[in-house]
Structure 1
Amino acid sequence: MPAFPHSTSPTTTAVAVPPALSLPVIEAAFPRQRHPYWPRLQENTRSWLLEKRLMPEDKVREYADGLCYTDLMAGYYLGAPDDVLQAIADYSAWFFVWDDRHDRDVVHRRPAAWRRLRVRLHTALDSPTSHLHHQDPLVAGFADSVLRLYAFCGRAWNARFARHFHAVIEAYDREFRNRLRGRVPTVEEYLELRRLTFAHWIWTDLLEPSAGRELPDTVRKHPAYRRAALLSQEFAAWYNDLCSLPKEIAGNEVHNLGISLVRHRKMTLPEAVTELRRRITDCIDEFLIAEREALRFADTLDDGTVPGKELSIAVKSCVINMRNWFSAVYWFHHESGRYRVDAWEDSATPPYVTNETEGEK
């Protein structure tokens, strides 16, 4: 079926989904949309990657659009003001580049380079202004994207975002050490770590500037809101594991739910894939229930006052975009060149990455 049956984009394309990765419920019950700003978003993020020297010019020219990073964000944060969506998309593109640097530092066994980067990112997160011209483009680009995100909300949101991302950096460090040692985490350990390496709460935080309002703790921590948010992110992380399993096996990865199931639950690879699909489909079913509960909770926030009505509308916007995350993630995995392992010359080396790292050439 068309990837964009109700598209806001002028182009509509049919995408072939491999049967092993097909989820008919997503294609039928989660209509895909794209933010109308997307064409400019794609162009501007491409220019930002060049300006910040986050990817070489030849790789930006050949791969940036095909990686579909802006498509992913444009399908998620619908209703966001253009400048908010642009900042999120640039930050997301940075995140993918950082993930690639992390991977290459593992593959080429560069612990000193990784430790240096880890410390710099922690520092830049707390003082982005002083890192805008850092010698490492990855640090400078991070400072730029964080500073732009900080401009949309107040100090409490900024502090929460920083707290959440400090935890993400440390989770990446745990993954780095596991991979260097070839240590496959247990299923329970992996599921806990995955919530951090996939940055569950970062993407959830960004729903708020997209909705134009910072949510109070009583809303964010309410079980109905939190469960819907968590399920939307769990789906994304586990579906990513399913789709990236061939790439990660080729690269001797140890961080994938399928790999943990094989190692620690003694499953065959086909059995692990079946279990992954079961968890993913259960997650979808549970979200459909949680979504209704979250929307009912949003209704209760409208107490007849103007602030109550505005808060109710903002929460509904966030919950609706949680739903959009399912279709955005699903189609991203079938359009992005990030997962086309069969087309790579070397299945363990993505063609869009560089093997060098700042300070260790």
Structure 2
Amino acid sequence: MHAFPYGTTYGATAAPTRVAVPPSLALPAIEAAFTRQLHPYWPRLQEKTRTWLLEKRLMPADKVEEYADGLCYTDLMAGYYIGAPDDVLQAIADYSAWFFVWDDRHDRYIVHHRTDAWDELRRTLHAALDSPRAHRHHDDPLVAGLADSVGRLYAFLSGNWNARFARHFHAVIEAYDREVRNRIGGVVPTVEEYLELRRLTFAHRIWTDLLEPSAGCELPERVRKNPAFRRAALMSQEFAAWYNDLCSLPKEIAGDEVHNLGISLIAHEGLTLEQAVDEVRRRVEKSISEFLEAERDALRFADGLADGTVRGKALSVAVQACVSNMRNWFSSVYWFHHESGRYMVDSWDDRSAPPYVNNEAAGGK
């Protein structure tokens, strides 16, 4: 049974239940002002993504049975891309689930110092991103899974959007490679280096790109580069990345991670753990207030696009939908971190080895 915050709004898929949020992680601004929604397709989405993980051999059957629903990967996407056509949301959710599995494989390769295996995977993922059809039946389920999910995403908009998405994800793969080198070398990036790297490893541009097929409209460059629109998009993603850092800090310290804003603050700014937590929380709260300001400007910009033409009206509606979903990202990310078994480190037998990961397949014992 999934837990949902009391009094929020979502599809008629579950009864609301209060989630206990630790005081150190509670954000009253989110709970009060960011109403949670859930796409009505969610129950089917959860079922189909679970089946997809099995069919693509991305998780062993026993792991899927025991952990897939509790990890809440589909909940995260169903709370974000409200209004997306069902097939678009399904492709996004499968890609998102793939992303989490990839992130876990990446972590295990680092833990077991399998740099050769990582280099081969990195090379092949780049190739699959450019030619998904040629890699759908690749021997490595991770490569085949990317090819399948990305190939479906490429069907919704134009070749220009596909090229932009691919360009953005190529940069994410390379950023993951930098994380491999940093972690194996024990290098903690400076705060500024980390913030730049984090925008890539969290795939800020990817999740923003996916707002467009969800709205059924490819946005022209003049819209995507509008300062208010870009600022609102950035703040929604920064919130997610920094809140993730806040919630992940115990897990990542236990796993000898070097990539966390709190860890960079401790290593390079001389902060204590308590001070670092306070600083990360301050940045999280600032991202909320900055988003609210940018959101107002972005919605005014959207209104101005309705110039009396059919195209102008359609563009205005699409931008409003994108900005609305940027807002949804706040509540979806927030509750995901308190519902997902991915962050319940205290319940794991080994705080450095997630129970939902196939450790042996990644070279462990």
TM over 0.5: yes
Residue in 1 that maps onto 2:127: 123
Hey, what does 1:316 align to over in structure 2? Answer: 320
Q: Give distance in 1, aligned partners of 2:277 and 2:363.
A: 40
Report matched runs for 1:192-341 at 5 Å. 192-341=196-345
Q: Over residues 299-328 of structure 1, what are the superposed CA-to-partner deviations in whole Å (9 max), with x where a residue is unaligned?
A: 110000110000000000000000000000
Q: Report the aligned-residue RMSD.
A: 1.2
Which structure 2 residues correspond to residues 89-108 of structure 1 after superposition, within 5 A? 89-108=93-112
Normalising by structure 1, we get a TM-score of: 0.98
Q: Which amino acid aligns with 1:199?
A: A
8 Å contact kept, 2:10–2:38? yes
Asked if structure 1 preserves the Cα contact closer than 8 Å seen for 2:176 and 2:201, the reply is yes
Match of 2:360, SS? coil
- Contact in 2 for aligned 1:120/1:139 (Cα 8 Å): yes
Structure 1 position 5 matched with structure 2 position 17: no
Give CA-to-partner distance per residue, 1:123-171, whole Å, 9 cap, x none.
Answer: 0000000000000000000000000000001000000000000000000
Note if contact 2:105-2:362 (Cα within 8 Å) is conserved in structure 1: no
Checking the alignment, whether the CA contact within 8 Å between 1:105 and 1:357 is kept in structure 2 is no
C-alpha deviation, 1:7, in angstroms: 2.2
SS in 2 for 1:246: helix
CA drift at 1:3: 4.5
Q: Give, in whole Å, the separation in 2 of the partners of 1:59 and 1:119.
A: 27
Which residue of structure 1 aligns with residue 173 of structure 2? Answer: 169
* Residue pair 1:3, 1:32 contacting (<8 A) in 2 also: no
Consecutive unaligned residues in structure 2, runs of 5 or more:
none
Question: Does 2:176 align with 1:178?
Answer: no
Q: Any idea what the Cα deviations from partners look like across 1:95-133, whole Å, max 9, x if unmatched?
A: 000000000000011000000000000000000000000
How far is 1:14 from its partner?
A: 1.0
CA distance in 2, matches of 1:307, 1:202: 25
Match of 2:9, SS? coil
Alpha-carbon deviation of 1:262?
0.2
Indicate conservation of the 8 Å contact 2:12/2:40, yes or no: yes
Shift of the alpha carbon at 1:2?
Answer: 2.9
Pick from 191, 197, 202 the counterpart of residue 187 of structure 1. Answer: 191
How far apart are 1:358 and its partner, in Å? 6.7
**Contact 1:113-1:360 within 8 A present in 2 as well:** no
Distance in 2 of aligned mates of 1:59 and 1:281: 35
Whichever residue aligns with residue 68 of structure 1, its letter is C
Once the two structures are aligned, what percentage of the paired residues are identical? 75
**Change beyond 3 A, Cα 1:358–1:182:** closer
Deviation at 1:278, TM superposition (A): 0.4
Please tell me the residue identity of whatever aligns with 2:358. T
Note if contact 1:3-1:331 (Cα within 8 Å) is conserved in structure 2. no
Q: Counterparts of 1:133 and 1:4 in 2: how far apart (Å)?
A: 45
Amino acid at match of 2:242: W
User: Quick check: 2:91–2:153 contact (8 Å CA) kept in 1?
Assistant: yes
Is 2:143 the partner of 1:139? yes
Distance 1:26 1:105 in 2: 36
TM-score (norm 2): 0.97
Name 2:52's counterpart in structure 1: 48
Contact 1:241-1:257 within 8 A present in 2 as well: yes
In the alignment, which of 110, 117, 131 is matched to residue 114 of structure 2?
110
What is the CA distance between 1:281 and its match in structure 2? Answer: 0.4
Distance, in Å, in 1 between the alignment partners of 2:227 and 2:83 is 25
Letter in 2 for 1:300: G
Structure 1 residues 3, 127: closer, same or farther in 2, change over 3 A? farther
Letter in 1 for 2:344: R
For the pair 1:78 / 2:82, whether they are aligned, the reply is yes
1:27–1:360 CA distance, 2 compared to 1 (3 A):
closer
AA matched with 1:119: R
